[in-house]
Structure 1
């Protein structure tokens, strides 16, 4: 009994220590966002600012501008929404609607996931440029939303776990496949939806290379592209504390999304989501 209790204590101590180690960069970022430039550069590091400088957040907000933050929300939500529209019907069809070549299509979806994104950047840019989508929301959103192989496989795996008898009963009652998807499959898919939305939103929000390449115009700039000049190191004319404050501002929407979807996210990780 004592050995079992000791093992539990050791596990909890290891978990707490691991959490603290992983939280150190986050704590440094939050602490640094309230420091002066001298305190950020001080060695040994100053853990707690002597006098919190809240003006750093005001300066960071003015540097980022509401337009940049709005562009980032439009880009991220556009990618998530369009991927949902493409992925849910395709995944449901692959999981529950019998048709020829479904296995071949499913196998084909794995191929794009094996190719590094940097290899497709140039041809993707050329296609987007030829379509006249440079410096447009369409150029930002549609090419990224079209990369939905992962989401199709994720939802397909979930829909495959739904009881076949439930689907067959609805079909016998005269429900169309669209009605089955809308009224039966989607209400049961909340854990999978929460998992996908949080992951997809985080991925889109953190993108840098594609928005930098396809939308260099300041009018279409997203938050990570706008933050890049603040990481200029010694050559930057802006205080690194303002850069850290900007990073905190950029982190808040992702943190809120995770907190909102946390319950369903954990259920999606732990099981199939059927209650």
Structure 2
């Protein structure tokens, strides 16, 4: 056997292991979503009898009808539901408001800070940026109690402001991400605009921001997904369903069953409805996110 054939054989074996590994990771990643769908299409009573069945047990659209408010109490109980309802439209609106406003504020202030660290020259800039980077090493759990006390003292419990404001003014990762991108942009156009008499704000909003639209959109998408999935902070500062996001509503729905076991089918249907917008968002913009991270020099 020639050396060329040996190398080709070794390459084929390695490629086979690589494909096997990728397929394994893909299966492990997708399986939970399949299991959610399988449970959401099952009869809740039948699930108790056949919990390990790989296919929907007693196939029915009832769980989705219960979640969307299309099933009566009698129909819900007949399929093993608790009879409890969830105003999914109301909580979806709350989640949209919370995620949208939070994301907009975080990205806006992060953009201003990144511009200051990448384009403006002032004493102590690099030292201050180093302090900002240390925030990346502080676990978020450590800031929950101080933020809760602050929100309580300001009288902002059970309000959108109380949920949004503590995290709206600072994001170390966003600032670092945008600064790295802006450092790679050409300064010739900005310098020409400054020489023509344009102010810094005009240069920022008229030149720098349009050139940074890719990373800004990426951070907006990632931030929106993160806020949409946020659970613990809204749990701390809200107890009124008028402002609670969908993540808290799912927990309340799980605990509202008067029976011996929760309405797992209905809960999985609600979870799927809540997750579908984020899955669709990531599928549409996933390539843009990957490209922006690579172009920003983050490895």
TM-score, normalising length: structure 2 = 0.83
Aligned position for 1:19:
26
Aligned position for 2:244:
221
Separation in 2, partners of 1:244, 1:267: 33
Superposition pairs of residues 2-151 of structure 1, within 5 angstroms: 2-43=9-50, 45-62=52-69, 63-151=86-174
1:241 and 2:268 equivalent? no
1:185 and 2:192 equivalent? no
Separation in 1, partners of 2:27, 2:121: 49
Separation in 1, partners of 2:184, 2:145: 39
For structure 2, the residue ranges without an aligned partner over 5 or more in a row are: 1-7, 70-85
For structure 1, the residue ranges without an aligned partner over 5 or more in a row are: none
- Cα shift at 1:252: 1.2
Separation in 1, partners of 2:213, 2:286: 12
- Cα shift at 1:46: 1.4
Separation in 2, partners of 1:5, 1:271: 32
- Cα shift at 1:178: 1.9
Aligned position for 1:258:
282
Separation in 1, partners of 2:118, 2:66: 51
Deviations 1:69-96 (A, max 9, x none): 1111100011100112211111111111
- Cα shift at 1:225: 0.8
**Structure of larger gyration radius:** 2
Deviations 1:171-213 (A, max 9, x none): 3343322222223222222331232112211211111111111
**Higher relative helix content:** 1
Separation in 1, partners of 2:157, 2:191: 47
Root mean square deviation, CA, Å = 2.3
Q: Describe the shift of the 1:44–1:214 C-alpha distance in structure 2 as closer, same or farther (beyond 3 A).
A: closer
Deviations 1:87-117 (A, max 9, x none): 1111111111111221122112123332222
